[in-house]
Amino acid sequence: MSRLLNPLSSLGAPLFASFARSGFPGRKLAQALLLSAAVFLLLGAGDPATRFTELGHQLMCICGCNQILLECNHVGCPASDGMRNELMASLTRGDSDSLVEQGFVQKYGPTVLAAPTTKGFDRAAYIMPFAALFLGFGLIVLVIRSWKNRPSPAIADGLTPVRGAELEQFRDQARKETDL
């Protein structure tokens, strides 16, 4: 166990040092995370069996069962066996992923793809959720700002508002005694 923890501590120390300095993980940390995510996303095995599985899960069976091609499970399906053979033939020929998909779209129409493409209007399918995320994020930041800038409620005459460490102390006490 200690063997496991040692490399972690050397890796974790700068991470938490940066956390402590800036409050939240800093820009370098974000860049490192983005870079590792990109590396993970771009790396991938390219052997035919893996490609067959991956592409087979990007295509739909067109028999009307509404299932992913490799998940269509009825014996005697008029479409799936032929489509799987076509897919395997394309991969054996060495066609690229996009060429395989284009071939299927030309033959069976755009509904053969299990997800919208990233071209033309189809792009909107992917853009909208992330646009909504950024819009929502921006809105929340604005809301938080406006709420932070609201004036504090009035205090009755004769009472001194409690601030700083004393306020934190009372809050801690209140949390302990009411939240348990």
Partner 1 sequence: MAEIGSFALLLALALSVYSFVAGIIALAFQNRTSLQLASATAGRGALPASLEESPLITTIRQASERIGETARRAGIATFAAVLLASVVLVICAFRDDFSIAYILHHSNRALPGPYKFAVLWSGQEGSLLFWSLLLAAYGFVLRLRYKTDPRLFAYASVVLSGVQIFFLLLLNFAAHPFAIVQGTIPAEGNGLNPLLQYPEMVIHPPMLYLGYVGFTIPFAFALGALIMKYPGEKWIHITRRWTMVTWAFLTCGVFLGAHWAYSVLGWGGYWGWDPVENASLMPWLTGTAFLHSVMMQEKRGMLKMWNMWLVFATFWLAILGTFLTRSGIISSVHAFAQSSIGDWFAWFLAITLVVFLFFFFKNKSHLRSEHKLESLVSRESSFLFNNLLFVLLCFTVLWGTWFPKISELVQGNKVTVGAPFYNRVAIPVALLLLILTAVGPLLAWRKTSLESLKRNFMWPTIGAIVVAIFLMITPQSWGSAFGLKPWQDVSYFYSLMAIALSVLVTLTVASEFYRGGRVISKHTGQGMFASMVQLTHRNTRRYGGYIVHFGVVVVIIGFAGAAFNQDKEMEMKNGDKMTIGPYTLICRSSTEDDTPDHYSQWAILDVFKGGKQIDTMTPERRFYHASQQTSTMPDIRSTLNEDLYVVFEGLNQDNGHPILKAHLNALVMWIWMGVWIMLIGTVLALIPNAPAPVRVPAPARLERAQATPVATGD
Q: How far is 79 from 139, CA to CA, in rounded Å?
A: 48
For partner 1, the closer of residues 93 and 173 by Cβ is 173
CB of 130 to partner 1, least distance (A): 8
CB of 127 to partner 1, least distance (A): 10
For partner 1, the closer of residues 27 and 75 by Cβ is 75
Strand partners for 60: 68
Report yes or no: 111 and 62 within 8 Å, Cβ to Cβ. yes
For partner 1, the closer of residues 93 and 163 by Cβ is 163
Eight-state DSSP code of residue 15: H
DSSP reduced 3-state for 65:
coil
CB of 164 to partner 1, least distance (A): 12
Report yes or no: 99 and 90 within 8 Å, Cβ to Cβ. yes
For partner 1, the closer of residues 107 and 175 by Cβ is 175
CB of 102 to partner 1, least distance (A): 15
Q: How far is 121 from 140, CA to CA, in rounded Å?
A: 29
For partner 1, the closer of residues 7 and 93 by Cβ is 7
CB of 94 to partner 1, least distance (A): 21
Instruction: Kindly report the number of other CB atoms within 10 A of residue 12's CB atom.
Output: 12
Report yes or no: 41 and 96 within 8 Å, Cβ to Cβ. no
Q: How far is 124 from 132, CA to CA, in rounded Å?
A: 12
Report yes or no: 55 and 105 within 8 Å, Cβ to Cβ. no
For partner 1, the closer of residues 12 and 14 by Cβ is 12
CB of 110 to partner 1, least distance (A): 5
